[in-house]
Structure 1
Amino acid sequence: MQHDLALLINGSWIVPSSGRSSPVINPATEAEIGRLPHAGVDDLDRALEAAAAGFKLWRQVLPQERAKVVRRFADLMREHVDLLAAAITAEQGKTLAEARGEVQGAAELAEWLAEEGRRIYGRIVPSRFPNSRIRVEHEPVGPVAAFSPWNFPCSMVARKIAHALAAGCSIVIKPAEETPGAAIILGHLCLKAGVPPGVVNIVFGAPAQVSEHLIASPIIQKISLTGSVGVGKHIAMLAARELKKVTLELGGHSPAVICEDADIAAAAQMCVQSRFRNAGQVCTAATRFYVHASVAESFTRQFVQHVAAIKVGDGTAPGVQMGPLSNQRRLDAMDRFVADAEARGARLVAGGQRIGNRGYFFAPTVFTDIPADAEVMTQEPFGPMAPIRSFDTLDEVIASANSLPFGLAAYGFTRSHRTAERLSSGLRAGVVAINGVTVTAPEAPFGGVGDSGVGRESGSEGLLEYTHVKTVTETFN
């Protein structure tokens, strides 16, 4: 992937002016596969000016015409799935199969948003006075500043672009510097789809400098971030200073509750699939496993059997089911979690160590008998690590599941409709799955509560986050 022309500003690819750059590393080999130039302040100002002009143009385009462009963007992602997947795997590490799935999911969401953008309806409110009416409208909020993470380098960028385009907004997006390839390809696809110059702008650079400069600009009217809790709180503070609309999809630490009447074999298989997808670097993945004491031994045995069968290796190799962690930071974090858990008396029943001497590989890891105050139980591990605890009562486990400030996703497994209702209503999370591990769909809103963020993406609710509400009162003579 060519990284030197890294900035898309006003429809053109340019070489940044700052002279600064950062390496792009293949996590499977630790080899440098490119260097990414960073934007300077002048570049950011040019992107802002382009977004301002692009918004004036794009907001006037009829919704059905905007929809054609966004649908074409979705189609182009499908046509270039192999190119995008190769870039994702080379820079982020996930398997090619997972990378292709990421691209397909991004295309599905963009396609749905294209159609939903034609259905941003207002309403008529009965007036209190004769010869008058009240009309409620949703208007595009304006130029958007968006920030996306490295764990899903295609879908998170495409998601934010598609939301903005479908709502009639322009966007300046800063993808993660560690995984720029997919974003650069998406920029080319936007232009090919017919996105006018200035409507989509892509910049890279020092995260703090870029975010502070973009958010402070009077041009930007909305901020969207997918990232860590710490970064999200900082972005929220910057946005609050300027009184700007913000959507934050932040980290989680998702509980999975396996009840005594659950289908244990199915639950164990699905929980392993959820936990170790993308080497555990999924914010919605089940990360804390609470199993009823009567079935804990059976569940753990089957869970560990599935874990032992996971083939770890380079994501480009045939048959590999889990690639490396994406960077050295996550590898170091796994070592810290393991050391802390063992020091607190937890029992290591699988993994617990790095694999090989090259690449950021870490063995799928399982702990049992783990105390509730272990770091892996209180901090999102964001890696291939699964702590398992037993419980006795539903009240007890719901309290444990809700004991952390995070509230992104939660899972429950039971054959009882009554228990399912108690879990779905009692678990504090933005998205909950019962007897399954799928919590996202283009048609449904997605987001968290508490430290897991504010606002929603996807669904009609997510699209409306990119609008503001105008109330018009008309009086007729």
Structure 2
Amino acid sequence: MYDSYGLFIADRWIGGAAAEVISPVTEAVLGRVAQASPEDTMAAIDAAEAALDPLREMGGFARADALHRIADAMIARADEAARMIATETGKPIAQAGREWVLACDQFRWHAEEARRIYGRVVESRVPGGRFEITREPVGVVGAFTAWNFPAALPARKLAPALAAGCSVVLRPSSQTPGTAMLMVDCCRAGGLPAGAVNLVTGTTAATYGPVMADKRVRKVSLTGSTRVGQQMIRDAADTVKKVSMELGGNAPVIVYDDADLELALDVTVPTKYANCGQVCVTPDRFFIHDSLHDAFVEGFVERAAKIRLGDGLDPETGMGPLINGNRLSEIAGIVEDAIAQGAAIAHGGGRPAELNSGFFFQPTVLTGVTDSMKVFAEENFGPLAAITRFSGEDEVLGRANASEMGLSAYAFTRSPDRARRTVSALKAGMVGINSYALAASEAPFGGTNFSGMGREGGTEGIGDYLDTKLAQIVF
């Protein structure tokens, strides 16, 4: 399934030493993909550097047209892309299709942002003078993306970088390379200068190392774990690169006593088990008011029990597998730890007996969870709903904020006043009230504290790919 692709450097697909990609559904080999050498990555950086002046000379309006052409090409290949995403990740085909649509929308949104890279003029104190403030592309960008959203994550980096006039060296996850390759192939339809978009796959030493060491790469953008983000910050310091990153989360969900219980359940259960819980903004820590706790657990279990596990290519599948065997072992260990400390399994808790292959784990509901348990205190990144009780507003807000993470947080209430107090009190980059719909091209996506820095999307998204220049002009 990767025969048409490889490494993409200076507008050409090229081969290289190959590595296997494993299906999370069957554990069989999906195919083999090219692996870059350090020399290949340097060639990609060379190509990206050579594309900078032509990209800048295009101007924002021409770059906008190019991004629209890329989006058109992506839409034309939507069915192919959905199958690729579902095959590589195991997620249900409907979720895969929606992800590709969101990726297309990133190019549409940032196409229009390319036309609106505004500066400003400020009156100077010097007689006859004025300050002109303009914004210019940062330069070559290194983009590193994770496997859980193999289309949305590259699009969030490629689209704003190209809109700003930056060239990109993209390094997608080696577990889901085909989706990024398909997207990069669509970028050829944009008519951008050769080298504007490059793609390398391979080992950390062969890809990450050269990008981080090269002074010509002026910005790096990461979607990944907090541990990797911390290392990237340290490595970026050597060449003073600009850094933006979306890292892990451990989202609290507060269901107040005045919440619409049916609404909370109807939107929470499918959100929790989307992509088998492998979503940074997924609800993880469930704080349920004493008065609603038992009914919430009952309704949650009832809905979770109806989710059908299986191959994401089957339209009847409601939840696919975890991405690999390591994740499967980690999730099983987290559940075992919770049970050993006194939590109870209300539903699920292990591998489904009816599936003999693949990295499947049942939709799981844990009750009697305490704040110190690993399933609650750390991001579990799996199909685990950890539920606890609370009685007072101040109490629950303090407990919800007792985390180093600060990506997303959620609450359910019918009170506008309580909603505003909750939004103000929660320490997170994004807060949803009676909704989990945070990811949109027009909205700034990102977190605080150990969940990262910078924003992707919205009018803020393109700013991370621009430098500000001040000129004092006197006549």
TM-score category (smaller protein):
over 0.9
Instruction: Provide structure 2 residue ranges, at least 5 long, that are not aligned to the other structure.
Output: none
AA partner of residue 79 (structure 1): A
CA RMSD after TM alignment: 1.0
Match of 1:8 in 2: 8
- Which residue of 197, 204, 207 maps to 2:204? 207
What is the rounded CA distance, in whole Å, between the counterparts of 1:179 and 1:195 in structure 2? Answer: 25
**Matched AA of 1:379:** E
Give the C-alpha shift of residue 22 in structure 1. 2.4
Matched, 1:427 2:389: no
Secondary structure, counterpart of 1:239 in structure 2? helix
Asked if the contact 1:4/1:15 (under 8 Å) is kept, the reply is no
- Give the residue type in structure 1 aligned to 2:395: E
Q: Which residue of 2 aligns with 1:48?
A: 45
How far apart, CA to CA, are the structure 1 residues paired with 2:463 and 2:219? 12
State the shift of 1:76 in Å: 1.5
Cα pair distance change 1:331/1:424, threshold 3 Å: same
Cross-structure match for 1:402: 401
Distance 1:196 1:241 in 2: 30
- Counterpart code for 1:230: R
Could you tell me how far 1:72 is from its partner in structure 2?
A: 1.1
CA drift of 1:93 comes to 0.7
Give the Cα separation in 2 of the matches to 1:318 and 1:187. 27
CA, structure 1 residues 471+401, in 2 after alignment: closer, same or farther (shift >3 Å)?
Answer: same
Amino acid corresponding to residue 111 of structure 1 in structure 2: R
- Structure 2 residue corresponding to 1:69, chosen from 66, 71, 78: 66
2:274 matches 1:277: yes
Instruction: Check conservation: 2:2, 2:33, Cα contact below 8 A.
Output: no
The whole-number CA distance in structure 2 between the counterparts of 1:275 and 1:44 is 38
User: Aligned equivalents of 1:401 and 1:153: distance in 2?
Assistant: 30
1:150-199 CA distance string (max 9 Å, x none): 00011111221111110110000100001011111111111122122100
CA distance in 2 between counterparts of 1:364 and 1:95 reads 15
Q: 2:215 aligned with 1:218, yes or no?
A: yes
Partners of 1:422 and 1:303 in 2: CA distance: 27
Partners of 1:209 and 1:250 lie apart in 2 by: 23
Residue in structure 2 matched with residue 413 of structure 1 by the alignment: 412
How many angstroms does 1:320 deviate by?
A: 0.9
Cα deviation, residue 4, structure 1: 7.3
Counterpart of 1:227, as a letter, is: G
- 5 Å-filtered alignment, 1:113-152, equals 113-152=110-149
Q: Deviations over 1:279-318 (max 9, x none)?
A: 1011011111000111111111111111111111111113
- Gaps of at least 5 residues in structure 1 are none
Is 1:80 matched up with 2:88?
no
Question: d(CA) in 2 for partners of 1:184 and 1:417?
Answer: 45
Match of 1:242 in 2: 239
Asked if the contact 1:254–1:286 (Cα under 8 Å) also holds between the matched residues in 2, the reply is yes
What TM-score, normalized by structure 1, do the two folds share? Answer: 0.98
Given that 2:93 and 2:315 are in contact with CA atoms closer than 8 Å, whether structure 1 keeps it comes out as no
Distance in 2, matches of 1:122 and 1:213, equals: 34
Q: Which residue of structure 2 aligns with residue 364 of structure 1?
A: 363
Q: Does 1:437 align with 2:429?
A: no
Q: Distance in 2 between matches of 1:459 and 1:313?
A: 35
Residue of 225, 240, 247 corresponding to 1:228:
225
CA distance in 2, matches of 1:47, 1:361: 37
Alignment map for 1:8-407 (pairs within 5 Å): 8-16=8-16, 19=17, 21-355=18-352, 356-407=355-406
**How many Å separate the matches in 2 of 1:64 and 1:4?**
32
Q: Deviations over 1:56-108 (max 9, x none)?
A: 21111121110011011112111111111111111111011000000001111
What letter corresponds to residue 451 of structure 2 in structure 1? Answer: S
Conserved? CA contact 1:3–1:181, under 8 Å? no
The count of residues paired between Structure 1 and Structure 2 equals: 473
Q: Is the 8 A contact 2:405 2:449 kept in 1?
A: yes
Specify the code of the residue in structure 2 equivalent to 1:429. A
TM norm structure 2: 0.98
SS at match of 1:139: strand
Amino acid at match of 1:255: P
Q: Distance in 1 between matches of 2:196 and 2:172?
A: 16
How many Å separate the matches in 2 of 1:469 and 1:420? 37
Instruction: Give yes or no for contact 2:244–2:455 (8 Å, CA) kept in 1.
Output: yes
Paired residue secondary structure (1:465): helix
**Per-residue Cα deviation, 1:19-71 (whole angstroms, up to 9, x for no partner):** 3x321111111110111221001101110100000112111112111001101
Contact 1:212/1:238, CA 8 A, preserved across alignment: no
Amino acid at match of 2:190: A
Moved more, 70-79 or 446-455: 70-79
Whole-angstrom CA distance in 2 between matches of 1:150 and 1:318: 22
Q: Classify the secondary structure of the residue corresponding to 1:59.
A: helix
Cα offset, 1:218, TM superposition: 1.3
Cα pair 1:341 1:374 within 8 Å, conserved: yes
Separation in 2, partners of 1:272, 1:118: 40
State the Cα distance separating 1:436 from its structure 2 match: 0.6
State how far apart, in whole Å, the 1-side matches of 2:471 and 2:156 are.
Answer: 31
Pair 80,282 (structure 1): closer, same or farther in 2 beyond 3 Å: same
**AA matched with 2:453:** V
Instruction: Please report how far the alpha carbon of residue 208 of structure 1 lies from its aligned counterpart in structure 2 after TM superposition.
Output: 4.5
The percent of aligned pairs where both chains have the same amino acid is 43
8 Å contact from structure 1 (residues 144, 223) kept in 2: yes
- C-alpha displacement of 1:371: 1.5
